[in-house]
Each structure stands twice: as structure tokens, then as C-alpha cells.
């Protein structure tokens, strides 16, 4: 059965909230509580989860650890994923120092840049490598996920190299749409676009 993409997109949001509830010392929750905390309907949460099985009982709710473990398995984050970061400028450095990646199963294991001023420097205990070493390093480490934190004008060329080196998932912070094969999935992180969506409705 094919699961709608919009449902998959909501699962990490549910997982994040379950982790917060666990951190608060809670062991049981309900679709109503999750709906209240997430600003959505409890019926939608139940419908989304029903695509993957039965995780709770009416009147008793969900065991948080049980549901969290299953969502981690569904999203394949019960293991740790090695990630390559391309771009060691201000944005790349902020990403490298963001501990939430490692806390949720994604470990940045190598950083690349094309600037001679940055190559050889250390960021978050990792030595910045030249982009000349991009393909050989990714293949040696068998890395499948890349984070792009580079100027828009270089993003497509670097993306082409990532794809050839075996990258199948890209989180793109560059403000440009990328052309990739159907086998490669790209997610975009452009805060300006998000702000523009908000100003349309509220200002």
C-alpha cells in the first residue's frame, strides 16, 4: 500500500512531540493530547497512524515509548545515519554545531568547502575537506545523505556530483530548486519562502 507523502511528512512531527513528552516524564498520551499540542485534529492523527497498524486502545491512549519506537522504525531512524555537509560558511558552521541532528539519528561525519581559507580548519571537531575530495570520500564512507549549505549558483553543480557519488537524499538550504533523478529525494529549507507565505496571510 502506498502511503501518501503528506502522511509521511507528519510522522516526524509526531515523533518529535513524543520525544518531548518522554523528556517531560510522561509515559502515556492520547490523540487528543497530541492534537492539542500540535494544533491539529485528533481524527487526523489517528487516521495517519492507522496506515501503519494499531498503536493504542480506545480509552487508554498510546504508550509513548511503544509508539515512539515504532515511528522511529517506520522512519528508519532507530539507527544512526552518517551525513555529509557541503558548505563551511556561517550557515554551514551553524548546522555543524546543531546538536539536534545527532540527537535524532543523523551524524555529520564530514564537511566540505571550496574556499582555501576554510579548508583545513576545524568545525565541531571535524576538519573541513576540499570539495575536490567529495566523491571519493562519500564513496569510502558509504554516505547517502547530504546537506547543502552553499550559494545558489553552485548548488546544482555540486548536487550533480553528490548524485554521482551515491547520495540519495539531500537537504537543501540553498535558495534554488534542484534537478535530480527520480531516485533522489530533495527537501528544501528556505526561511525566506516561509516568511513570504506568512506575510501573505497576516501583514
pLDDT of residue 59: 64
Is the pLDDT reported for residue 58 higher than 70? no
- The pLDDT value recorded for residue 85 is 98
Q: Which among 138, 139, 141, 174 is positioned nearest to 156, based on CA atoms?
A: 174
Burial (0-12, 13-18, 19+ Cβ within 10 Å), 50: exposed
Intervals of CATH 3.40.50.720 along the chain: 81-193
Could you name the CATH architecture of 5-74?
A: Orthogonal Bundle (1.10)
Residue ranges of the chain that CATH labels 1.10.10.10: 5-74
Give residue-wise pLDDT tens across range 60-72: 789 999 999 999 9
Q: How far apart are CA 116 and CA 130, in angstroms?
A: 8
Which contiguous run of DSSP H or E holds residue 96? helix 90-96
Q: Measuring CA to CA, which residue among 202, 175, 178 is closest to residue 191?
A: 175
CA-to-CA distance for 44 and 168, rounded, in angstroms? 30
pLDDT at 104: 86
User: Average of pLDDT values for 165-188?
Assistant: 95
Cell, residue 58: 480506545
CATH of the domain spanning 81-193, picked from 3.40.50.720, 3.20.20.30, 1.10.274.10, 3.50.30.40? 3.40.50.720
Of 1-5, 24-28, 130-134, which gets the smallest average pLDDT?
1-5
Q: Quick one: pLDDT band at residue 10, thresholds 50, 70, 90? A: very high
Q: Record the cell numbers describing residue 32, joined without a space.
A: 487528543
Share above pLDDT 70 across residues of the chain, in percent, rounded to a whole number: 97
Amino acid at each position: 500500500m502506498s502511503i501518501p507523502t503528506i502522511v509521511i511528512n507528519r510522522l516526524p512531527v509526531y515523533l518529535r512531540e513524543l520525544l518531548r513528552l518522554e523528556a517531560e516524564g510522561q509515559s502515556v498520551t492520547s490523540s487528543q493530547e497530541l492534537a492539542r499540542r500540535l494544533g491539529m485534529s485528533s481524527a487526523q492523527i489517528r487516521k495517519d497512524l492507522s496506515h501503519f497498524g494499531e498503536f493504542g486502545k480506545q480509552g487508554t491512549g498510546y504508550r509513548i515509548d511503544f509508539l515512539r519506537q515504532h515511528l522511529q522504525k517506520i522512519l528508519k531512524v532507530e539507527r544512526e545515519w552518517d551525513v555529509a555537509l557541503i558548505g563551511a560558511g556561517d550557515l554551514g558552521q551553524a548546522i555543524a554545531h546543531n546538536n539536534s541532528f545527532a540527537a535524532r539519528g543523523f551524524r555529520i561525519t564530514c564537511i566540505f568547502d571550496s574556499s582555501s581559507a576554510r579548508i583545513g580548519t576545524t568545525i565541531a571537531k571535524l576538519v573541513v575537506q576540499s570539495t575536490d575530495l567529495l566523491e571519493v570520500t562519500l564513496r569510502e564512507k558509504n554516505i547517502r545523505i547530504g546537506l547543502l549549505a552553499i550559494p545558489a549558483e553552485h548548488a546544482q553543480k555540486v548536487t550533480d556530483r553528490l548524485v554521482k557519488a551515491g547520495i540519495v537524499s539531500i537537504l537543501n538550504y540553498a535558495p534554488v530548486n534542484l534537478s535530480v533523478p527520480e531516485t533522489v529525494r530533495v527537501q528544501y529549507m528556505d526561511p525566506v519562502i516561509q516568511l513570504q507565505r506568512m506575510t501573505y496571510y497576516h501583514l
